[in-house]
Amino acid sequence: MLEVSNLTTAYNGLIAISDISMAVAEGEIVVVAGANGAGKSTLLKSIAGMEKPQSGAVRFDGQALDALPPHRIPTCGLAYVPENRRLFPRLSVADNLRLGSYLFRKRADREAPLEQVFSLFPRLKERLPQRAETLSGGEQQMLAIGRALMTRPRLLMLDEPSQGIMPKLVDEIFEAVKTIRASGVTVLLVEQRLVESLEIADRAYVLQTGRVTLSGSAQEISDNPEVRRAYLGM
């Protein structure tokens, strides 16, 4: 579904990722792991068109994404939830979700994905009139994921969805990722909670200083002694 070939991107004049190649097959959960500054967020931004690669190619279902402006990429079926969520803080939960369905504003079933969103995150339904800025960190993450699902994606990219939220809500987020995959949406997940990520993933890539240093099945990565020492403290 997603093919990244020899991708190199500079951020603020410095090479952030270098010669990265990876792939995500339809129906998978694929994890991208690595320490802070390894280039994980830059990789997702490059795929989503938020950063312009210096070289390489990104293809989604055979279509070149790197040739498209960022606002066109969601129309291909790819949704991106950034690390900082990028909600509209003074708008209500309901309005943030409606903005996610902007691509379908002329369709009678524009708000049909709301049923899936409320099934995943029932508390969003309870908070529809509230401004996004009044939500807890975990609730804001739920809203960001819900808004992305309103675009009816085939591939959902999540950047550090567990960052800055309570442990109890972290579990809910990971359960939601499993349910999203079960609904037919492929997931590319950047996450520092490697243990929890590998438990739900099919495959993983490990980045170090902007390069892929390890790749394989989730079980292979979990069993790798280097990964266990560096990321699992074992």
CATH number of domain containing 210:
3.40.50.300
Q: Between these two residues, 35 and 42, which has the higher pLDDT value? A: 42
Whether 116 is in a domain gets the answer no
How many domains does one find in the chain? 1
Residue type at 6 in one-letter notation: N
**Nearest residue to 43 (alpha-carbon basis) of 34, 194, 200:** 34
Whether 113 is in a domain gets the answer no
Which residues span the domain enclosing 36? Answer: 2-83+152-230
Q: What is the pTM of this model?
A: 0.92
What tokens does 172 get? 């809910």
Q: What is the pLDDT of residues 112-170, one digit of tens each?
A: 889 999 999 999 999 999 999 999 999 999 999 999 999 999 999 999 999 888 888 88
Q: What is the pLDDT of residues 71-90, one digit of tens each?
A: 889 999 999 999 888 899 99
Dihedral of alpha carbons 7, 2, 207, 157, sign: positive
* pLDDT(216) > 80: yes
209-225 burial, b for 16+ CB within 10 Å, e for fewer? ebbbebbeebeebbebe
Whether 74 is in a domain gets the answer yes
Distance CA 126, CA 153 (A): 24
